[in-house]
Structure 1
Amino acid sequence: MTIEGIPKEMKAVQVVEFHKPYKIHQVPTPTQLKDHEILLKTVVASLCHTDSMVTAGKFPTKLPCTASHEGTGIVKAVGSKVTNFKVGDRVMSGLPKGPCGSCVNCQKNDWRQYCENIEGHIGVFVDGAFAEYHVVDSRSSCHIPDNVSFTSAAPLACAGCTIYRAIIVSEVKKGDWLAIVGAGGGLGHLGIQFARAKGINIVAIDARDEGLELCKKAGAEHIFDAREGNEIVVKKIQDLTDGLGVHAAINVSEHETSADLACEVTRMHGYMIQVAQPDRVSIAFQQLIFRDIQVKGTLIAGQEYSQQMLHDVGKHNIKVETNLFYGLEEVPRMVELSHSGKMKGKAVCVVDNDELKKEKVSSS
């Protein structure tokens, strides 16, 4: 379908060459929608670690590609088969776009994001949210509740969905112990809050002063500095957990020792959930063989869990630590500061400040 009333061109931040800075320029506005697609007027888009992996050429991304897979916006048009969104709706962008709908993964609700025949994930394989308009799939996107803001929802599109599903995959229950290695980052500080809202006891581990401070701000009561060394950290956590260790650990750190540490703090026969994406995950064989630690990988959540996450954010007043930048022109500075290691929380770009000012978020 063709969309009327939309400008022919728009500003976009794109990867045009691997290992090079983003280029900000005018590109054609997407005005042709497939059956299940929706066109969003972008309000907020945020930066994620995966964006740096795209620029580094870690994925077979076809260039040029508009960056950012964490977006929010207002529906301006819908495809012919879209029934769950209408013009004017507030939306958190879904990452998966164009799943085949017929493979084994597509047949199971929370496996659809693993479709191997998918068109791509926005901002990674196809154009993303660092633009004045962007196109997403109605089958993976979510309605933003009235009590959740555009600026809070944008970082949740990947970081929130990812850590939320990791907690579900860990199978920890209310009253159990869960460790997060790398807890003082964008995913980790959300994981602390999600777990606490579910009544799970949290052990937060980080190796940066800024990260440890964010763990405390997020509400973690048991915080450990990984710089003390694995042996000391493990002993302290075992002392806290009747000598057993946590029921499960989630690793969101790419440090070469972090996966090992996540296994070491976990009790025998427990789960280690690997979320971080280093080139290689290194774990001592003793953890897998002699302690029977079971490793699970996890991607983002599907639509059902993502929508559930957004409702939990509103219900439990989950706070997203954001660093706001205004205008797509500020994206290069966002990237520079986020890579400095001194930023607490998520770097978020307000793409359309006029629309953001109109937003009225309820308190309940």
Structure 2
Amino acid sequence: MAIEGVPNNMLAAQVVQYNKPYAFNDIPTPTSLAEYDLLLKVKVASLCHTDGMVSAGDFSTKLPCTASHEGCGEVVAVGSSVKDFNKGDRVMAGIPFHRCGHCPDCLGPEEFHHYCPNLEGHLGVTTQGAFAEYMLCDARESSRIPDQISYETAAPMACAGLTIWGGLVNAGLKAGETMALVGAGGGLGHLGCQFAKAMGLQVVGIDARDPGLDLARSSGADIVIDARIGKEKVVEEVKKVTGQKGVDSTLTISDAPDAAALACAITKMHGTMVQIAQPPQVSVPFHELIFRDIRIQGSLLSPRLKSESIRMLDFVAEHGITVKTNPFFGLKAIPHLVELAHSGKMAGKGVVIVDEDEIRKEKERRGIA
């Protein structure tokens, strides 16, 4: 079905073979909307660690698949049952796509809804994503972007922001308590440092890369520790600043083989380690887990996904949370972004400015050179 002002075809960066570079294809614009769909004109999309897993075939994604699950844009069409979005709205696309609505997770508490096993897919992971000029998303999972937040900030919030926010929610700490982040200087970690500081927490940032240590420091971490000094010395340093007890909770964002073990070792007895990173194995010595009664909480995206998305975006707007971005202009610049990401030298998040004219105008409106 034709939509006024929307072209019949669009450019998309797609996974067409596992372990091969993205292909740039001219494909039909998705103009057939289900009842709760939004069609967005993509403004900015960003690259995530999970995109590499998709390209490697870890999710057995049906190919071809348009990449990226971190996207945002302007609504150009709405499905027949959509009531809370209108054409022209600025939207952060929710990752889950078409929950079944009748399984135990869908019928249970809101924090379980995004675990629905019968989802039609996850954007850019098992169904079409944001590395394109237009994308479909599910209005029930998506959120309006506050005026104070730029598209360049909003795109990484769709996954990186929500994932680290969800970890903080699951940790359940109160102002004045201490949070450590293992992997504090990455795309998620530097957001976590800012979120935690704005929540009134004392923040210990741990990383093993010089750019990561610098980013954790500039993102507000009170104490920054280089993991390369070794586990025992990291534990000593953490105990020095916590009255010998360890931090109240730790978020593990690094997928290094020993990251989870380090995270548990610096967490106080009876404390909680929230596992966010997705390494092949999560390994913790039994004496940390059992003798010290460490609670390990797995965390995917965020509990109460829709309501927490809105709460997170309002928090970002209120506290001026910023994303350290590495912007690349135009979809065909994606190979250069992937190269930077794989080099290990990227600090923060890599983003693709899809609608260059709109982002230029947005910066002019905000008085940004």
Report TM bin, short chain.
over 0.9
Q: Confirm or deny that 1:342 pairs with 2:337.
A: no
Q: Is the 8 A contact 1:40 1:73 kept in 2?
A: yes
Counterpart amino acid of 1:209?
A: D
Moved beyond 3 Å, runs of 4+: 360-363
Matching residue of 1:36: 36
Please, which runs of 5 or more residues in structure 1 have no aligned partner?
Answer: none
- Name 1:177's counterpart in structure 2: 178
CA contact (8 A) 2:94 2:142 kept: yes
Q: Does 1:154 align with 2:155?
A: yes
Any gaps of 5 or more consecutive residues in structure 2? Answer: none
CA distance in 1, matches of 2:141, 2:216: 30
Q: Deviations over 1:35-82 (max 9, x none)?
A: 100000000000000000100111021100000000010000000111
Give the corresponding residue for 1:100.
100
For 1:5, the equivalent position in structure 2 comes to 5
Separation in structure 1 between the aligned mates of residue 45 and residue 348 of structure 2, nearest angstrom = 14
Work out whether residues 287 and 293 of structure 1, in 8 Å CA contact, stay in contact via their aligned partners in 2. Answer: yes
Report matched runs for 1:7-26 at 5 Å: 7-26=7-26
Query: Which residue is 2:268 aligned to?
Result: 267
Q: Tell me what 1:317 maps to.
A: 320
TM-score (norm 1): 0.98
Measured after TM superposition, the shift of residue 2 of structure 1 is 5.2
- Secondary structure of 2:358's aligned partner: helix
**Residue 61 (structure 2) aligns with:** 61
CA distance in 1, matches of 2:258, 2:126: 30
Q: Could you tell me whether the CA contact under 8 Å between 2:326 and 2:348 is conserved in 1? A: yes
Q: Secondary structure at the match of 1:5?
A: coil
2:311 is matched with which residue? 308
Report the residue type matching 2:53 in the other structure: M
Q: Distance in 1 between matches of 2:206 and 2:325?
A: 21
Tell me the SS of whatever aligns to 2:59: coil
Deviations 1:132-174 (A, max 9, x none): 0000000111110000000000011000000001001011111
1:333 aligns to 2:333 (yes or no): no
Q: Give per-residue Cα distances to partners, 1:239-280, cap 9 Å, x unaligned.
A: 110110001100000000000000000001110100000111
Task: Report the more deviating stretch, 260-269 or 95-104.
Answer: 95-104
1:110 aligned partner, one-letter code? E
**CA–CA distance in 2 between the matches of 1:190 and 1:110?**
22
CA contact (8 A) 2:275 2:297 kept: yes
Identity over aligned residues, as a percent? 52
In structure 2, the residue matched to 1:352 is 355
User: What CA distance in whole angstroms lies between the structure 2 residues aligned with 1:335 and 1:135?
Assistant: 24
Distance 1:61 1:44 in 2: 23
Q: 8 Å contact 1:147–1:361 — kept in the other structure?
A: no
Is the Cα–Cα contact under 8 Å of residues 95 and 158 in structure 2 kept in the other structure? yes
Question: What pairs with 1:206-221 in structure 2 (closer than 5 Å)?
Answer: 206-221=207-222
For 2:366 and 2:159, the matched residues in 1 are separated by 22
Could you tell me how far apart the structure 1 residues matched to 2:8 and 2:175 are?
52
Q: Aligned-residue CA RMSD in angstroms? A: 1.2
Aligned length: 363
Deviation sequence 1:73-121 (CA, Å, 0-9, x none):
0000000111111000000111001001122222322221111111111
- Which AA in structure 2 matches 1:300? L
Are 1:91 and 2:84 an aligned pair? no
SS in 1 for 2:17: coil
- Aligned residues of 1:272 and 1:293 also touching (Cα < 8 A): yes
Kindly provide the CA deviation profile for residues 301-324 of structure 1, in whole angstroms up to 9, marking residues without a partner as x.
Answer: 211101111111110011100011
